Structure 1
Amino acid sequence: MPAGDIAVGRFVSPQWQDRLGVPLCLLLAAPFLLLAAPLLLFALHPPLPVLLAVVTVAALGHATGLIFQDRPMQLTPDELGGHAFGLHGSGLLAMRGVGAALAGTVAERTSPATAIAVLAASSLTVTLLLAPGLRSGTAAAA
């Protein structure tokens, strides 16, 4: 996860960060569920080295945190920036907990691999539905 943050934060221009926001979300899918589109491969029960590679690629999607935390800060008056950033972080943490509970519930009723694949597909669907709103006006127009 830090590798994706560092790569995007240091080596990708703001214009490209804006363009990469949605594709990185597709790697990560909906950030609040902590599942990624590549994790759909868990349904095929590949060998452990393949799973490790898939999880590594999916973790690069966490760079969306850098991309999308800037937008609320730009829309918030300076005097409320700390509050907005705290609310943003608290909301992400809370939804990660909800996602973990949901994943655990599905895994108990099926299998861990099935739960990962089902939640990844659900998360991917949510991301695709939200994608138009995730793009800023400059990236959508380009």
Structure 2
Amino acid sequence: MSETAELYQTLIMDRTKNPRHAGKPAKFDLEGHGDNPMCGDRIHVYVADDGMRVNHESRGCAIMIASAELMADAVAGLTPDEISERRKAFEAMVNSGTPNPVLGDLNALSGVSEYRSRIRCATLPWSALSEALEGTK
């Protein structure tokens, strides 16, 4: 395993075991959810639209939980349109395996492209966030 791959693996496991954005906040403005019946992943995303702070309640695999965590970091302070662009960049990255500098730590999930069935795990939090943000357009 390359040094970069090892660093990415460490980041994924850290964010899965030590989530920073997990839990339903006392106050939120928007909510979305997602399910992946293929592997049992479930997520609820909560958005406080004063600064686009995102929290989540997740149950599922390490890839999905790490994706939710890294997504929450990546979208903080962005507008809904900027979040949509970030989602497109993320989906392109997990499908191609090509890291994108704009994605920062989300690039840790670039290896998902080698496991096609896991792409849905990585993109599920983004789908839930998009559902939540539909009410802002």
**TM-score (norm: length of structure 2):** 0.28
Q: Which has the higher contact order (CA 8 A, sep 6+)?
A: 1
Q: Please identify the structure whose Cα radius of gyration is greater.
A: 1
**TM-score (norm: length of structure 1):** 0.28
